Amino acid sequence: MAVKDKEKIVSREFPEYIRDPNPDVGLDESIKDLKPEQIEKTIMAVLGAQTARIRAVMETCIHCGLCSEACQWYLSSDKDPTFAPVAKMKMTAWEMLKRKGKVDAEFIKQAARIVFTECNICHRCSMYCPYGLDITFIIGLVRRICFVLGVVPQRMMDQDHSHATVLNQVWYTQNDWVDTMQWQEEEVGAEFKDLRIPIDKEGAEIIWYPLGGEPKTNTYHIERTAKIMMVAGVDWTVAGRDVWDTSNMPMFLRDFTTMNRVVRGLYDNAARLRVKKMALTE
Amino acid sequence: MLDFIRDPSIYNLVRGPFVWITFLVFIGMSIYKVRRLYLMAKNEKVVLPSINGVAARRSILHWVVPFGSRNWRMRWPITVTTFVFHIGLVFTPIFLLSHNILWYESWGISWWSLPEKTADIMTLLVIITCIVFFLRRIFAPEVRFVTSADDFLILGISFFPFLTGFLAYHDLLLPYKTMVILHMLFGEAMLIAIPFTRLAHMFYFFMTRAFMGSQAAGWGGKDW
């Protein structure tokens, strides 16, 4: 059923920006407590910084629109100009800087909508820009502003909270993780007598790190990985301690603290077990 | 400069002191801006260590050569327009015979100059491509959406020196001397505007390209 015109979202600042409604608690509810001075302070702290990567984009972009053909959002939306990468910068970062951070909560919601739900931060636009400007970096900074203000789509924020709490995206405690590994080993025992999933084996050649979803919902990935490793005769192990999940969701929110903890944890485990290589699922 | 002291006319003003001010501001500010971006990049820790000389050179080369990059090949009308425009914009003023004569008279230096006919056609092409850019700003939806008043200002800054130069050479519209004074004023405005506006892409181009070329090489790809 087609959505009626009056039910569409139309931007106040940019009348060309028209979208179907897409309610999300993370955006609709979280903007209610935002104070103007809080918004201003956050924007100026993140975007107002005099750093080369920000200033280079702001002082070079000639508004030529040549980045648009790079964007899958633009191409798959009948070349709607509001989906072009440069348009996304104009509607978020440029407007924030133009108004020196003095924007209201509604504007932050619109910016969050654009940077989280209409951009995949894939970096293709930078490869189509004649100057090679890092557009994705600017979009990432707007994501950071929204994250610091707590205006993030609910599912993404939940994954980030999970990472911040248990260092994986599926709310698994260390017990759950070790238990899943042992359960899978037992499960495959019926088929393969010698199959083992070595946990915390020091000096192994490879440490295997899954994505969070694998022990949670796709446990067959684990038994298959174990079978492959056994048949290939690889000396491998999985981490018995956190961190074991490589899906670094905090990176997509630009939650630098948690992002850092995840990557550091992966390397710490590899160093602790003195493995030679890290193998990741993708 | 001495001419202006002997005969303080408008012509001698734009021909003497203004030229000195223009060159000082243009060269001084350009050096300042490049140095500033470089120092900021140095402070950022991750920018300079990621620079890969080979990838940076290849990235710049592929983008300064017409049809050298994927985006240039995908959009050939824009590619032709932009290269004709930029070649005319940069090389016509430097190699124009009349400019060479001015330099020779003032400082005793001169170099190879373009045939008058060729220079005339190049000037005309710059004027035409400027109009194409202007129309594109109005009629291409993805460009119109991000266009603001300063984009037209920047376009005007690069358009009027060439228009007035062309009209002066052909002695059209206004008396020659008036047109030449306008031409010099617009030309001086353009040079001064370069470091202060987004026309600074004249030298930032090489810096941003070097960074993105290196980034792409770091990801195992290429950005052209």
The reply to whether A20 falls in a domain is yes
Chain A and chain B share a number of CB contacts under 8 A equal to 115
Query: In chain B, how long is the greatest CA-to-CA distance?
Result: 65
Residues contacting A260, CB < 8 A, separation 6+: none
Query: Which of B146, B204, B222, B223 to substitute to test the interface with A, most A CBs within 10 Å?
Result: B146
Co-location of A120 and A223 in the same domain: no
Write down the mean pLDDT value for chain B.
93
Co-location of A104 and A174 in the same domain: no
User: What local confidence, expressed as pLDDT, does residue A238 receive?
Assistant: 95
pLDDT level of residue B166 (50, 70, 90 thresholds):
very high
Co-location of A57 and A137 in the same domain: yes
Q: Where are the alpha helices (DSSP H) in chain A?
A: 25-28, 36-46, 52-60, 72-75, 85-89, 95-98, 105-117, 124-128, 135-148, 154-166, 174-189, 213-216, 220-232, 249-253, 256-272
Co-location of A272 and A234 in the same domain: yes
Co-location of A138 and A216 in the same domain: no
Co-location of A24 and A140 in the same domain: yes
Co-location of A121 and A49 in the same domain: yes
Mean pLDDT on B46-52: 92
Domain that holds residue A62: 5-152
B211 Cβ under 8 Å from any chain A Cβ? yes
Of A68, A126, A128, the CB nearest to B142: A68
The strands making up A277-280's β-sheet, listed across from edge to edge, are A236-237, A206-209, A277-280
ipTM: 0.90
User: What local confidence, expressed as pLDDT, does residue A168 receive?
Assistant: 93
Query: Which of B59, B142, B202, B224 to substitute to test the interface with A, most A CBs within 10 Å?
Result: B142
Bridge partners (DSSP) listed for residue A206: A236, A277
Of A63, A74, A126, the CB nearest to B223: A126
Architecture of B2-44+54-218 per CATH? Up-down Bundle (1.20)
The reply to whether A58 falls in a domain is yes
pLDDT level of residue A242 (50, 70, 90 thresholds):
confident
Mean pLDDT on A164-178: 94
The residue in chain A having the minimum alpha-carbon distance to the alpha carbon of residue B223 is A127
Owner of token pair 């228009």: B163
pLDDT level of residue B8 (50, 70, 90 thresholds):
confident
For the entire predicted model, the pTM comes to 0.92
Q: Would the pLDDT of A103 be above 90?
A: yes
The residue in chain A having the minimum alpha-carbon distance to the alpha carbon of residue B205 is A131
The reply to whether A210 falls in a domain is yes
The reply to whether A158 falls in a domain is no
Residues contacting B168, CB < 8 A, separation 6+: B176, B179, B180, B182, B183
Per domain, the residue ranges of chain B are 2-44+54-218
Please tell me the total count of domains within chain A: 2
Q: Would the pLDDT of A1 be above 60?
A: no
Bridge partners (DSSP) listed for residue A208: A279
Q: Quote the CA–CA distance of A157 and B188 in Å, as a whole number.
A: 54
Q: Would the pLDDT of B53 be above 60?
A: yes
Co-location of A91 and A209 in the same domain: no
pLDDT level of residue B149 (50, 70, 90 thresholds):
very high
Co-location of A88 and A199 in the same domain: no
Q: Would the pLDDT of B91 be above 70?
A: yes
pLDDT tens for residues B112-147?
899 999 999 999 999 999 999 999 999 999 999 999
pLDDT level of residue A71 (50, 70, 90 thresholds):
very high
Q: Give me the helix-helix angle, B201-218 and B53-64, nearest 10°.
A: 120
Q: Tell me which residues of chain A, numbers 110 to 169, contact chain B at a CB-CB cutoff of 8 Å.
A: 123, 126-134
Co-location of A38 and A146 in the same domain: yes
- H/E element, A277: strand A277-280
Co-location of A98 and A195 in the same domain: no
A201 Cβ under 8 Å from any chain B Cβ? no
Q: Where are the alpha helices (DSSP H) in chain B?
A: 2-6, 10-15, 17-43, 47-50, 53-64, 70-74, 76-95, 97-107, 116-139, 141-146, 149-169, 176-196, 201-218
